[in-house]
Structure 1
Amino acid sequence: MTGSLWSARPTCGDYEFRGSTLRIEVTDPEEVLFPTDCGLSLLGALQTDTTFELANKTVLDVGAGSGVYTVALLAAGAAHVTALDVNTASAAATRANVLRNGLDADRLTCVTSDLAEYAPTGRFDLVVTNPPHLPHDPSYTTAEGLEVALVAGRDGRSLYDVVVARADDLVAPGGTLLVAHSSLADVGRTTRELGNRGYTARTLEVYEMDIPLLAYAEHKQTLLGHLERLRDSGSATFEGDRFTVHAVAFQRPATTGEPEETR
């Protein structure tokens, strides 16, 4: 997976995924976040683990952003992808990138909604997400697309917690929740809470990378102070300015006592 070293300026780039060369562009990176190495790590894991089947799957892309996952999954043969994002600019960016790559837009549905309020018509074979993972502080948090994509509540877990709470509403029996999980947001807690509901966890890859301090240069010490607080409480793991991203597949049991239904 070569996408972690973008070959062009930071509003566009090419990446390889399962035999396809794909291109992602954003018009305004302050409005829609250009894909980060954290998000790309999940595609890197899927590139390495070719046993993870994507063809003919119904997929929900939670926090679709620019559509980097949606594009990759459609190119890999997903039957249909629903791209969900609370950012109103995401739908246009995702659809434009799907069309830019010559993919079938009839296999795409874009939804602008908060995940907590999203009402799917059925469950999905695969739910994929790279949640925001930095702790909130009023000095650096705004309502812009960049901040919505990176900052998530006091402990950086706001979207993780909603994903976990709604997993049974979203993931079909026998389906998979695939997460790019930051070590800054308590990987163990997510694993325990889903494990208590019968999900089995498989770590595909673990990647080490820099905490995105450049984006918060003016507030670096404030952000690090929050992260150190979380580390002291046992809910964040990092060394210096380096953390890890875990590409984890949580599989729901095939038998739940409920009728199987997918979108």
Structure 2
Amino acid sequence: MPCTAVTRGLLPAGLLALPGVYRPQADTHLLATALAAEDIHAATKVLEIGTGTGALALSAARRKAQVTAVDVSRRAVATARLNALRHRLPLQILHGDFTHRTIGRRFDLVLANPPYVPSPNSSPPSSGPARAWDAGRDGRLVIDKICASAPALLHPGGILLIVHSVMSGPETTLKRLAEAGLTAEATTTASVPWGPILRSRRSWLQQQGLATNGEQQEKLVIIRARAH
């Protein structure tokens, strides 16, 4: 599992973001690097879960894929639609929970940069920008939903690419995907400086055994899973 520097420049330039919408950060760029390595063509059906600004969805659409993007945030949906219009790329952008908005549909590639930051609150926020990162005390509320849903979302041979923090338990993700019948591996890691959210929770993260005293780098991981 190689450790790599976060590559930038793979996402569309000049993306707009309404207030409160998650802007592309290191995890987005790392997932963009993984996306760039996948075989995509005009017949490829792609789903992005939690699209935010639409950056990754637009990256796939630039390669002629048929792309659907879903987000629970109305502002994110509006932002992604604005960016799609601005870049003149076709996206189907849906508002709501991906498990409800994709019933009966299957895809060749599913991308996910879900909320994964461990939080002192056991329930996720119902509104506000924190919905883009807070995911319960173990950071897995959305990750586990994606793992359970992956078999129904993917065509045989389809690929899931998911990025999250090592704090959120990549070993558990690999186990859950295997239990769901997928072949999964952690392909890439990258270390990035702690952002303001983690810094504000340092004491709590240390109490939970999720961080060490003086730790300054967060390790991100890409997990790639294939459906049978």
Q: TM-score range by the shorter chain?
A: 0.7 to 0.9
1:240 corresponds in structure 2 to 215
- For residue 137 of structure 2, give the secondary structure of its aligned residue in structure 1: coil
2:105 corresponds in structure 1 to 122
| Alpha-carbon distance in 1 for matches of 2:28, 2:73 | 17
Match of 1:38 among 2, 8, 27: 27
1:151 corresponds in structure 2 to 134
Contact 2:10 2:29 in 1 (8 A): no
Q: Which amino acid aligns with 1:95?
A: R
- For residue 89 of structure 1, give the secondary structure of its aligned residue in structure 2: helix
Q: Give the TM-score, by structure 1 length.
A: 0.75
Once the two structures are aligned, what percentage of the paired residues are identical?
26
2:149 aligned with 1:166: yes
1:162-201 mapped onto 2 (5 Å cutoff): 162-201=145-184
CA 1:200/1:216 → structure 2, altered by over 3 Å: closer, same or farther? closer
- For residue 163 of structure 1, give the secondary structure of its aligned residue in structure 2: helix
CA 1:75/1:152 → structure 2, altered by over 3 Å: closer, same or farther? same
1:76 corresponds in structure 2 to 63
| Alpha-carbon distance in 2 for matches of 1:149, 1:84 | 13
| Alpha-carbon distance in 2 for matches of 1:4, 1:174 | 27
CA 1:155/1:3 → structure 2, altered by over 3 Å: closer, same or farther? closer
2:80 corresponds in structure 1 to 94
Q: Describe the superposition over 1:83-111 as per-residue Cα deviations: whole angstroms up to 9, x where unpaired.
A: 111111121111111121222x2xx2111
2:18 corresponds in structure 1 to 27
Aligned-residue offset at 1:115: 3.1
1:55-66 mapped onto 2 (5 Å cutoff): 55=41, 56-66=43-53
Q: Give the TM-score, by structure 2 length.
A: 0.85
Aligned-residue offset at 1:153: 1.1
Contact 1:3 1:16 in 2 (8 A): no
Contact 1:22 1:101 in 2 (8 A): no
Q: Which amino acid aligns with 2:181?
A: G
| Larger Rg belongs to | 1
Aligned-residue offset at 1:23: 3.1
Aligned-residue offset at 1:174: 1.1
RMSD (CA atoms): 2.5
Contact 1:135 1:226 in 2 (8 A): no
| Alpha-carbon distance in 2 for matches of 1:114, 1:197 | 20
CA 1:4/1:96 → structure 2, altered by over 3 Å: closer, same or farther? farther
1:203 corresponds in structure 2 to 186
Match of 2:206 among 210, 228, 236: 228
CA 1:155/1:215 → structure 2, altered by over 3 Å: closer, same or farther? closer
Aligned-residue offset at 1:127: 0.8
1:256 corresponds in structure 2 to none
Structure 1, unaligned runs of 5 or more: 6-14, 254-263
Q: Which amino acid aligns with 2:80?
A: T
1:257 corresponds in structure 2 to none
- For residue 15 of structure 2, give the secondary structure of its aligned residue in structure 1: strand
| Alpha-carbon distance in 1 for matches of 2:180, 2:40 | 24
Q: Describe the superposition over 1:114-167 as per-residue Cα deviations: whole angstroms up to 9, x where unpaired.
A: 2343343321111100111112235xx855442000101121111101101111
1:16 corresponds in structure 2 to 10
| Alpha-carbon distance in 2 for matches of 1:170, 1:237 | 34
CA 1:155/1:169 → structure 2, altered by over 3 Å: closer, same or farther? same
Contact 1:183 1:237 in 2 (8 A): no
